[in-house]
Structures are given as structure tokens and as C-alpha cells.
Amino acid sequence: MSAVPFPLLRLPNSALQKSLKEMRLVEQLSLSLLSENTMQLVRRFNRGRYFATITVVDSICVHLWTARCGQLFFKIKPDQSIRAVNILKSDSIATKFTMPKIPGFTVKKWLEHISHVFFSDTGATLRWMSSVRNIEETCEILKEVKIARLAINPSTVQDCQMRRLLPAIKELIVSDSTVHGSIVHWNLEKLSVFSTTMTLDDLLLSNCSDIAIGRNSLSHKNRNIFMRQWINGSNPRLQYFAMLMGFNGVQQLENTLFENIKYTETTVQGASTYKEFEIEGRDGRTAKIKLNTELTSRYFAMNVIF
């Protein structure tokens, strides 16, 4: 006896949503490949649900995750002889699933489909970990994929070339190298720097609105100079700046940071692990300065209020 097809698309919306919720991600992906209607159905269900990272090494790996549903990986490797793609799914149980080969579905087509169905709204973080893979060829493959953030090691890639090929990037994560001057000139919404160094000149040249530095690479004196330059009009796009700091005494730190700066302390009464202050720029903007003094996490933060 032949199987009777289940009329999934005819279900009431509440029942349809429940059915999709019970499906594994691979089952949702398989459903999305059946028709334009099923693709749009799965896309609407997953809108804003998944975060994604695309990692470029010898292959291209897509990592999807949610706070509730755990993590899933797709490893996409082109088979040069048949121009098809295998997708391997792995989760915490280390299970694997190979998608069927679909004629005409190249690496580019697979990435565009996964992106459209699962993270077209949120965009993906592109992690470039290859020093040999052709940048222009890979960026062409990712041309229709929404890349919101770029994570690079400048020693393995020419950042100017990456910027030209991915002009819409608004957030950059840099690691394991010295930040190049060309990077700080990018009109970024956010620049995160880890295991690397930024100089005072880098900061003053920066055109970024949000800067986070995971290393104590500036002296307190240079932080003082940076705040004084901001008061005089530098870094007009800056909204937030944070950096780890050393373990000097709190009073000595305050005296050095605010030397020749007019400021007001706004620390909440009873606070013991941080101190807060306000400074005002000549353009009327106010910046709230926070010094976190906990032994395990000492940092300087500057939040600009427009």
C-alpha cells in the first residue's frame, strides 16, 4: 500500500508552527528544498531565531546555534568531479547526516539557500582562518550571503582587499596581530580587538562608533590624553570605548586619568567595585566614565551620550 502524503501546508497556523518546532534542523532544511512555498514557510518560522558563523579554511563551515536549541554545523566541501556538495551535520552526540546531492546545487547555491532560510535577517560572522584560500573567489561565493561581522587575523589576509570585496561590513573582530592603520579608518559600527595592540594614534585616527580592546595596551596617561582630545572634538562618531586596565591603586588611577580634566564623580552610594564619573565635550556631549576595580576584571569604559 502506498503511503498517503501528509498535507503539512494545509494545517492551521498554530499546528503548522508546532510541527516545525518539533522538526530537527536537518528536517527543516530538507523541507525547505521541496518548493518555493516550503522554503518561505521555513524561512518565516526561523526569522531571527538563529545566529551563524561561516568559517573559511580548506572548506567552508557554517555553524548555526540558538540559546534554546544548541548548536549545529554544516561543513560544505565541493566535489570537483561532480560539482555537488555534501553537508555534514554534527551536534553534541556527534551524529552525522549527509544531504542528498542535488543537480545544480554548487557551494555558492548551498550557502545562499542556508543563509536565506536560516539567517537572512541576523546575518553571519565570517571567520577567515585561511592564508592560502583565494579571497576574491570565496567572496564571490558569499556575494549574496549577508555578512554582518568579519573576524580576521591581519597577518593572514590583506585587510584592504577584504574591505574592497566586503564593503557592507559593519563589525570587525581582529586577533593575534598588530592593528593596521587602514583598519581603524573603516567606518565601522564596532571594532573588537583581542590579543593584539592598539596605540593612542590608532584610537585617535579611528572612525568607529564602538571600540572594545581586550588587552591593556594603553597607559593611564594615554587614556587621559584620549579623553582630553575627545573633549576638544576628536572621534565624533564614538559612542562606546572599553579597555582592560592595570592594577594600580584606585585613587592614583583617578588622579592620573583625570589630570587637567574637569569632571564630576557620579558613583552610586555604597558601590565598592566600581567608580563612575562624567566629563563634557566642548560640543555639549557628555561621556560617562566607569572604572571597574574588581581584582578579576579591571576595565575602563567610556559611554558617550548624545
Residue 152 has pLDDT above 90, yes or no: no
Q: If residue 135 lies in a helix (H) or strand (E), which one and from where to where?
A: helix 135-141
Q: Give the per-residue pLDDT at 215.
A: 74
Under a CB-based contact definition with an 8 Å cutoff, are residues 78 and 101 in contact? no
Q: Which domains does the chain have, with CATH numbers?
A: 170-305 (3.30.160)
Unique residue bearing C-alpha cell 565635550: 281
Q: Which residue has the higher pLDDT, 64 or 92?
A: 64
> Exposed (0-12), middle (13-18) or buried (19+): which is 4, by Cβ within 10 Å?
exposed
Within a 10 A sphere around the Cβ of 263, how many other Cβ atoms? Answer: 15
Q: What is the pLDDT of residues 40-65, one digit of tens each?
A: 999 988 887 788 888 888 778 888 77
Q: Give the per-residue pLDDT at 4.
A: 52
What are the start-end ranges of the E strands in 120-225?
A: 124-128, 147-152, 171-175, 190-194, 210-213
- The CA distance from 108 to 106, in Å, is 5
